[in-house]
Amino acid sequence: MTTGLAWYILGPKGAGKSAVFEHFRLKWEDRFDRFFVSWDLRGFPVADVTQIQTGQSHGSSRTQSAWEFLLRLRVFQTLSSDEGLDAPKEFTSLRAELVKSGLLIDDWKLSVSRWLSSSASFKISLGFFGFDVSNQPVGPLEVSAVLRTALGRVGTKNRHIISVDGLDSFFLETSDDWASLAGLVHAIESVNRFLGKIGLPVTVVAAIRTEAFEALESTDSNKLKSHTVYLDWSPSGVGSGSELWTLVDTKIRVSEPGIKRFTDTYLSTDIGQGHYSRIPDYFLAYTRLLPRDLIAMMTHLQAVHPGSAPVSEHDAVTTVRNYAEQYFVGEVANNLAGILTDRAGRQQKTRVFFEAVKSVKFAEFTLHEIQQELDGELAEAETKQLLRQMFEIGAIGIRTRNNNYVERTDFVYRKASPVAFNPRRIFLLHNALIVAWNKARV
């Protein structure tokens, strides 16, 4: 991110995308030559951005222009706080005009609703940047053009990052959400390319769920991959050498600097739980190799084992069960919300689907078995849609058989080979769901 080459941080929910931003915020907070601006879009009317009146017809171009308008304001705002900025006096005059018109504020939630009107305009004097509008009110498109010109006339040696976060919270419930996200992604590309071209060390970086980014309808998304950072914790393995345990070590050393390796100090007891003889391997096998999952596991461990002695096998098993029942099931349910397009009945349908999966007899099951339970409640297409989401969030895996022999099992976070979702395959519940729902393994 410090080089300006990373524009998108991708990863599943809980992979640590927001933590990356927080790392830079804390690292830079005492530096005079580093500026970190956080823009959290939780609660922001993201879908309404598609309706902002820029003077263009409704569609992808207007949505992208609307986001560019907002992003340029953010860029202008962070540069305005840079005491090392080399800018003409007109820049200061424009800033005063933008403040007076209510455009340079920290939260635009209420403003967006006003900008949806076809008569939305701002009373701003723009003549000092070569735009002769005879002091008439102007719209977002004109303001955006002036901002672009103004940014081209300033310079700084200080580094600025504008983080765009909170997109997981609305997670694409409507077609306007999808359109708005696509517009935002391409607006970030456009703004960053312009900033790079004029030599301004300012970068806009967005945290986006991998499945959302890859599902965007775009002819250009592939070329953006050179500007993406994927948060993937699986390559480091599932044992005590996993980078996830390094993350735990780093966190613990803040309060206990004498502890070098958490796993060696507290998780060294040998166990006999199925294939697992060591607690670190056992714990990770019940996560989706995500920081959020492991932190939740450690929280439950602390509740059953507050002492300083090595964790016993009994406490480890209790921790896994509590984690599975009290955390993991809820995480899966939350990730199914908003997936179905039928807004009127989707809450009830999603609940019925979740209960059907919960009621399967064995850890292995098929679409046919689930659909039999849902006959009359959900169409098969809706069941497939929810099963696909369960696969994408790591709640179920896909088994490949050769006659009666299981060749491999693929989860989205741990693939033996490249695999796509296939509703005709055999599904396997995640270990944590097997424990939480007390399912027999085949």
In tens, the pLDDT along 103-152 reads 888 778 777 777 766 556 666 665 555 555 455 667 788 888 889 999 99
Do the bridges between strand 426-429 and strand 396-402 make them parallel or antiparallel, or are there none, so unpaired?
antiparallel
Does residue 173 surpass a pLDDT of 60? no
The pLDDT assigned to 208 comes to 93
Domain with CATH 1.10.10 in the chain: 337-436
Contacts of 14 (CB under 8 A, 6+ apart): 288, 290, 291, 292, 293, 331
Instruction: Provide the angle, in degrees to the nearest 10, between the axes of the packed helices 329-336 and 346-358.
Output: 140
**Which residues 6+ apart lie within 8 Å of 161 measured at CB?**
1, 24, 35, 36, 37, 202, 203, 204, 205
Q: Give the pairing of strands 34-40 and 396-402.
A: unpaired
| Protein fold of 337-436 | Arc Repressor Mutant, subunit A (1.10.10)
Of 339, 317, 437, which Cα lies nearest the Cα of 391? 339
Residue 409 has a pLDDT of: 87
- pLDDT tens for 20-53 read 999 999 999 999 999 999 999 988 888 788 888 7
Task: Look at strands 364-365 and 426-429 and give their pairing.
Answer: antiparallel
* CA proximity to 285, closest of 391, 439, 434: 434
Does 203 or 237 have the greater pLDDT score?
203
**Distances in whole angstroms, Cα of residue 319 to Cα of each of 180, 202, 242, 263, 297:** 41, 45, 20, 15, 7
The answer to whether residues 342 and 349 touch, using CB atoms and an 8 Å cutoff, is: yes
Q: With bands split at pLDDT 50, 70 and 90, how would you rate the model's confidence at 71?
A: very high
Q: Is the pLDDT of residue 415 over 70?
A: no
Could you give the CA distance from residue 282 to residue 317 in angstroms, rounded to a whole number? 9
Determine the residue type at 4: G
- Three-class DSSP labels, 320-385: HHHHHHHHHHHHHHHHHCCCCCCCCCHHHHHHHHHHHHHCCCECEECHHHHHHHHCCCCCHHHHHH
Query: What does pTM read for this prediction?
Result: 0.87
Question: Confidence band (pLDDT; 50, 70, 90) for 214?
Answer: confident
- Return d(Cα 296, Cα 262) in angstroms, integer: 16
